[in-house]
């Protein structure tokens, strides 16, 4: 299926007005990217208490690197779609003329089209069109409303329908554990344990450092036939890893019903139904399960809040693998583990993240 992709560049004020134009023509769901929002976030990032902030945004001002704000929308590639785009282009041109102080409908030499009108398309266009005024789109210019440059092109959904798959390749997440989507081949080496997890709604595809840290500790801690408790299981990847490493009974729980449904599908796809159960449950309300190992890939704050209850689900001498912790909050997490009666055996780090392998006294 083919679509028309249209973009308008301008100042924050100009893009807000452009969005009103879109809405007036029944175009909803426009995507707006504004460097001013990023600048505001950078100025107040400590107030927002983000766990993680990509400092690369500081240099570019936006995810795309554009200097102006941009509003994008998609409409069908048809005669009706082309007419709609032409109408929107005309209104954007009118806004630009007003901003420049040119009277609407005023004369222009040589019968030129209004600037910005070039976003319009005619039936039969092959795509790739750019506005006649669009050279340098994304570069601040004009008055209060910015450049109000408009560009458009015809694109097919085949451009993005499967493109996302190229970002999900097989990955080794431990000495033996390998995670991959079902569509990717893997040249299995002796001793490899392959987990098939497709990207979905639930967190956990094995590509985040915290998941990898947990997987490495599981490789060390899991003994044949042991019982494992996966708290906040997400996609179920750690539960599946534990079962394939030899655990005999694994309980995966999550407070998100959608995550549990995804986890159950992944458990079945990896042939682990007999050893892994996924339930929708809240540790705060009590879960009757005594494990040899508990694993929680959450956040420093959640681990600190739950560690006291978690130790009640562990046998004497039981191990607790805790991750999802920013390195700067490692000390805080270590104190919470110690206060709950755990002895920290190891701390591992990967990038900005850290994980702990702690144990209860026997």
The candidate with the shortest Cα–Cα distance to 283, out of 268, 264, 267, 305, is 305
Map out the domains of the chain as residue ranges. 2-161, 204-359
The pLDDT of residue 55: 59
The pLDDT of residue 160: 65
The pLDDT of residue 205: 72
Give the CA distances from residue 193 to residues 171, 180, 205, 221, 316, in Å, rounded to whole numbers and listed in that order. Answer: 12, 11, 15, 16, 29
Cβ atoms of 233 and 241 closer than 8 Å: no
Q: pTM score > 0.85 for this model?
A: no
Q: Helical H runs in the chain?
A: 12-24, 35-43, 45-48, 56-60, 79-100, 158-161, 209-221, 237-244, 257-269, 300-310, 330-339
The pLDDT of residue 44: 64
Q: pLDDT per position in the chain (362 positions), as tens?
A: 788 999 999 999 999 999 999 999 999 888 999 887 776 766 665 665 555 555 555 554 444 455 799 999 999 999 999 999 999 999 999 999 998 875 443 333 333 433 433 333 433 333 444 333 333 344 445 688 999 999 999 988 776 666 667 778 888 999 999 999 888 888 888 999 999 988 765 666 777 999 999 999 999 999 999 999 999 999 999 999 999 999 999 999 999 999 999 999 999 999 999 999 999 998 888 888 999 999 999 999 999 999 999 999 999 999 999 999 999 999 999 999 999 999 999 999 999 999 999 999 99
Q: Is 87 exposed, middle or buried (0-12, 13-18, 19+ CB in 10 A)?
A: middle
Q: Which two tokens stand for residue 255?
A: 């407070």
Topology of domain 204-359, per CATH?
A: Rossmann fold (3.40.50)
Q: How far apart are alpha carbons 85 and 22 in whole angstroms?
A: 10
The pLDDT of residue 101: 76
């Amino acid at each position: 299926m083919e679509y028309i992709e249209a973009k308008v560049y301008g100042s924050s004020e100009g893009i807000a007005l452009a969005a009103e134009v879109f809405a007036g023509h029944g175009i909803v769901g426009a995507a707006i990217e504004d460097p001013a929002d990023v600048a505001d976030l950078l100025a107040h990032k400590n107030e927002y208490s983000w766990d993680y902030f990509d400092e690369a945004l500081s240099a570019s001002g936006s995810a795309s690197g554009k200097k102006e704000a941009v509003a994008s929308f998609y409409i069908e590639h048809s005669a009706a779609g082309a007419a709609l785009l032409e109408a929107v282009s005309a209104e954007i041109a009118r806004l630009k003329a007003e901003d420049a102080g040119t009277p609407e409908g005023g004369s222009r030499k040589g019968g030129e089209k209004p600037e910005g009108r070039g976003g319009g398309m005619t039936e039969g266009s092959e795509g790739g069109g750019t506005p006649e005024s669009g050279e340098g789109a994304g570069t601040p210019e004009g008055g209060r409303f910015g450049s109000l440059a408009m560009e458009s092109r015809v694109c097919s959904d085949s451009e993005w329908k499967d493109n996302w798959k190229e970002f999900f390749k097989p990955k080794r997440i431990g000495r033996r554990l390998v995670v991959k989507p079902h569509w990717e081949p893997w040249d299995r080496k002796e001793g490899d344990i392959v987990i098939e997890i497709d990207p979905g709604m639930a967190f956990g595809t094995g590509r985040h450092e915290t998941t990898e840290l947990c997987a490495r500790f599981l490789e060390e801690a899991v003994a044949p036939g042991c019982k494992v408790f996966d708290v906040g299981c997400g996609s179920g990847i750690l539960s599946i890893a534990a079962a394939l490493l030899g655990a005999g009974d694994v309980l995966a729980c999550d407070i998100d019903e959608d995550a549990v449904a995804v986890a159950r599908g992944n458990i079945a796809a990896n042939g682990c139904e007999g050893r892994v159960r996924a339930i929708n449950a809240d540790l705060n309300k009590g879960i009757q399960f005594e494990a040899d190992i508990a694993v929680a890939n959450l956040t420093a704050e959640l681990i600190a809040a739950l560690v006291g209850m978690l130790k009640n689900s562990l046998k004497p001498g039981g191990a607790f693998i805790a991750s999802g912790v920013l390195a700067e909050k490692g000390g805080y997490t270590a104190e919470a583990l110690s206060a709950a009666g755990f002895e920290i055996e190891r701390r591992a780090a990967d990038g900005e993240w850290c994980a702990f392998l702690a144990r209860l006294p026997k």
